[in-house]
Chains A and B, each alone.
Chain A
């Protein structure tokens, strides 16, 4: 179980972007982290995976626990070894490697070759399309296929918790549904907990058990997926539906008829 206790994150010693976020990712569950651009979602993920220092950021207050282990002071490798893996925002594949080599990089820290082979088959089982493309250079795959490679690569680490940063970015709606379906199956079958960052609130909540809404570095709302799906504010501000359920008229938005209630 992952637990964030009131963490603060500061970049370059001066830019504070997370002001006290607390959240929990229970074992085996899917948790969605929602919020607009610049809310601090990616930053939160990097704080968990230990990647902040790469961008000269730091967890300056609060603590992060993975089960009993405190991890906010650890480096990315140690955290990776604990079974936490992050797929970065924006389809960061290794363009000059083949799809299969990309997957192998994901399994870097595992020494049992037999298991790695099995997991490779498992990934191909979840993403049958990748099996045919495995010898292709990843840089030339389509966006959707690249996203599959990225998720598959995270799966290859045999993680206890997988963190995905906007897996739907730039994909066609059909493909988004397909990928989310696979994430859900992976979660149920492998008992891996998933922390998923999304702008596409509807699809994220369709598979999540629980969700947090982040705004300006603070958690402004959290609750079960069903609760959030039916929350008026979430509906209006993140799903673009007005109170009546009809598609929102953008002209109305200008008049600020409704204020976000949590502000």
Chain B
């Protein structure tokens, strides 16, 4: 029973971090129709960057985090401006492939700068475990969930009330009509890349503050694909709900199935979920089914 509670709490909290990363994906997809397959690599890059900022330069934590966010914004802008913008109106195959190329590049870049592969972030959150009923949960998980919730809140306010946020939602509905209103859509694309990078950065920091930094983070980022597939590509709500489901499934399977199958079963659950969703409900729980051009 204590186990169950433990798995549930861990699963849901980690899942919220997945949601966060996945929302970055949904944001870009909705506003510009680009599928960002470099998600996992971005998560890795930002985690290493944070590590570099904090451990190698000895900056105070808060300043380091400000620098990370600034870097994420800058990188998002650069990616949109120099990689995606030249490809506007190209077939979706090219758009997918270009983010794959980017993924390759970023992973190489990380090896290039931080070749030692595994490390731990300086502690960002207090660590002492907390008892919830019979379960003992490491505080970091709760912090991660808290930060994700905070970011969800901030984002929904932004989308609800800010001029740019409303325009971004409008772009998701009808890009041409937005242009007819004299709104520069390229600015919206770059804004969504910048935000998505910040979300990947925060997600990466949270994940690596729990589990350390390693190339495994790429797969963590990729698990967010299962979140978007399950939730529906174009649904923020879907991403928020699907994240904890994936996290939960993963942790419960890790807890209870390992004894009956192979030890790494936890790692593969999100990918199995992708296949299952593809077979029974390809557009996810909340996605709009639509005819997609390739």
Q: Which A residues form the contact surface with B (CB < 8 A)?
A: 49, 51, 54, 56, 75-77, 79-81, 85-88, 92-97, 101-102, 104-106, 108-109, 153, 157
Contacts and interface: CB of A to CB of B under 8 A. Distances in A.
A101 B166 contact: yes
A72 to B, nearest CB: 16
Given A94-B170, A105-B170, A54 B183 contact: no
Interface string B266-287: 0000000000000000000000
Interface string B141-167: 000000000000000000000010011
A144 to B, nearest CB: 18
B177 A97 contact: no
A157 B178 CA distance: 12
A75, A87, A108: most-surrounded residue (chain B CB, <10 A): A108
A96 B163 CA distance: 16
A92 B176 contact: yes
9 contacts: A77-B184, A80-B181, A81-B182, A87-B180, A93-B173, A94-B169, A94-B177, A104-B163, A105-B181
B137 interface: no
A157 B167 CA distance: 14
A239 B257 CA distance: 75
Given A94-B173, A97-B169, A49 B180 contact: yes
Contacts of A93: 173-174, 177
Contact of B181 (A54, A75, A108): A108
Contacts of A49: 180
B231 to A, nearest CB: 16
Contacts of B111: none
A34 to B, nearest CB: 21
The 7 A-B residue pairs whose C-beta atoms are closest, nearest first, are A80-B182, A92-B177, A94-B173, A94-B170, A77-B184, A105-B170, A108-B183
A153 B182 contact: no
B166 A105 contact: yes
A97 B168 CA distance: 11
A88 B169 contact: no
A93 to B, nearest CB: 8
Given A94-B169, A97-B169, A97-B170, A77 B183 contact: yes
Interface residues of B, number: 19
B179 interface: yes
B272 to A, nearest CB: 32
B180 A51 contact: yes
A95 B169 CA distance: 10
A96 B178 contact: no
B5 to A, nearest CB: 38
Contacts of B181: 80, 85, 105-106, 108, 153, 157
Contacts of A157: 181-182
B244 to A, nearest CB: 24
A76 B182 contact: yes
A77 B182 contact: yes
Most chain B CB within 10 A, of A86, A94, A101, A109, is at A94
A190 B149 CA distance: 47
Given A101-B166, A104-B163, A108-B163, A96 B183 contact: no
B155 to A, nearest CB: 16
A86 B183 contact: no
B89 interface: yes
Given A96-B173, A97-B173, A54 B179 contact: yes
Contacts of B175: 54
A45 B199 CA distance: 40
Given A56-B89, A92-B176, A97 B166 contact: yes
Nearest to B30: A96
B172 to A, nearest CB: 7
Given A101-B166, A105-B178, A95 B173 contact: yes
Contact of A108 (B89, B173, B176, B182): B182
B184 to A, nearest CB: 4
A76 B181 CA distance: 8
A56 B183 CA distance: 19
